[in-house]
Structure 1
Amino acid sequence: MQASPPPPPLRRKRRALDWPTALLIAIVVSAAGFVYWRDGSARFFDVVWSDADLFAWMLPNVLAGCLIAALITVLLPRDTIVRWVGKDSGFRGILISAAAGIIVPGGPFTIYPIAAAFIGMGADAAAVVTLITSWTTIGLSRSLVWELPFLGFDFVAWRWLAALPLAVLAGLIARAIERHWRAKAKT
């Protein structure tokens, strides 16, 4: 008889306007007011249109990253994610996340929606920290396209050798901090 999959993690309900969003809005409005006061309306509207162009360029990339993350949640069963990189995956989950971070292609538009999808599917926060750190510090696609042609195999090999422990260490530190907070919350 097969064991039933673990229940999905409880997600706290989020309001449309929470304090980080309100703080960000306050900073943006303050900065916009300062630019308008200091440089005048012509410069203010120049900045607004420039930011609108940047937003229009980024939006399809963000949507594509979110689509990839949504497809991952459909293609990978939740119980597999929990078993491989969940809270009880131990050191093996950290190593799997480090390996996944190495091979995940794309930029921040891809990795952060994937990381959010993994957390939503029950991955351990430490495993996601390892995934992002490994992607940032090692990244196979970046190494093959940029580093290897310009800097050579020896440099890439030494950098990988130095960076791989950093990703694992980041995950272990995140796990220790998370356990400490959980233990403190219980007392």
Structure 2
Amino acid sequence: MDPAAPSPRRRRRGPIDWPTAILIVLVVTAALYVLWRDGSARFLEVIGEDSSLFLWMMPNVLAGCLIASLVTVLLPRDTVVRWVGKEAGFKGILISAGVGIIVPGGPYTIYPIAAAFLGMGADAAAVITLITSWTTIGLSRSLVWELPFLGFDFVLWRWVGALPLGVLAGLIVRAIERHWRMKAKP
């Protein structure tokens, strides 16, 4: 990909898109069901618990978004495209798998980073590889939780079983994309 060429722009979404609208309908339906089934006291209790969870999560989500925005400033777009863009091929999937293994943090961190990479021109297959590797392996999780509680043998065998999953997920996405492109051609 030519670094001087303008990068493809992602379609701007409004404040409420279809996934958000569906989520709102599900939340309102569930809330009304709890109100009908358990009464107003339980309804208010659930609202209070959910509000405290929301207040606890919000700083984490904001920190994750801040990290993702810093990634977009620190990593030049052309570098991201070169390493994990469509043109990077299998190498981009391997790089994404490695990054997914070593990135620390929880979902508050990884999903904003993944969205930032997509916005910077990373290939969807590479981003799916990143998330899958982070989910299935996660070095920090292995060192902090699994190794002390479950032992080295368990962690080793889990890694042997899980290591190819991120790469496999990326290759499956590439195959599906290739199939769709072939079908779209007249």
Q: TM-score range by the shorter chain?
A: over 0.9
Structure 1 unmatched ranges of 5 or more = none
Which residue of 2 is the match for residue 147 of structure 1? 146
- TM-score with structure 1 setting the length: 0.94
Identical positions, percent? 76
Q: Say if 1:9 and 1:120, in contact at 8 Å, map to a contact too.
A: no
In the TM superposition, what is the alpha-carbon distance from 1:13 to its structure 2 partner? 2.2
In the TM superposition, what is the alpha-carbon distance from 1:46 to its structure 2 partner? 0.7
Q: Say if 1:138 and 1:163, in contact at 8 Å, map to a contact too.
A: yes
Q: Note closer, same or farther for the CA distance 1:171–1:4 as it changes in structure 2 (3 Å cut).
A: closer
In the TM superposition, what is the alpha-carbon distance from 1:6 to its structure 2 partner? 4.0
Which residue of 2 is the match for residue 176 of structure 1? 175
Bigger mean CA offset, 33-42 vs 61-70:
33-42
In the TM superposition, what is the alpha-carbon distance from 1:154 to its structure 2 partner? 2.1
Structure 2 unmatched ranges of 5 or more = none
Which residue of 2 is the match for residue 20 of structure 1? 19
Which residue of 1 is the match for residue 41 of structure 2? 42
Q: Say if 1:9 and 1:121, in contact at 8 Å, map to a contact too.
A: no
Q: Say if 2:3 and 2:78, in contact at 8 Å, map to a contact too.
A: no
- TM-score with structure 2 setting the length: 0.95
Which residue of 2 is the match for residue 8 of structure 1? 7
Which residue of 2 is the match for residue 115 of structure 1? 114
SS at match of 1:129: helix
The one-letter code matched in structure 2 to 1:120 is G
Residues 101-147 of structure 1: CA distance to partner in whole angstroms, max 9, x if unpaired? 00000000000000000000000000001000000111000011011
Q: Distance in 2 between matches of 1:131 and 1:27?
A: 29
Q: Distance in 2 between matches of 1:6 and 1:96?
A: 24
SS at match of 1:16: coil
The one-letter code matched in structure 2 to 1:58 is M
Number of aligned pairs? 185
The one-letter code matched in structure 1 to 2:167 is V
Which residue of 2 is the match for residue 60 of structure 1? 59
- Coordinate RMSD, CA, aligned: 1.3
Residues 128-182 of structure 1: CA distance to partner in whole angstroms, max 9, x if unpaired? 0100000011100001101111222222122111111111101100111122223
Q: Distance in 2 between matches of 1:138 and 1:105?
A: 11
Q: Distance in 2 between matches of 1:155 and 1:7?
A: 48
Q: Distance in 2 between matches of 1:87 and 1:23?
A: 31
Which residue of 2 is the match for residue 106 of structure 1? 105
Q: Note closer, same or farther for the CA distance 1:147–1:6 as it changes in structure 2 (3 Å cut).
A: farther
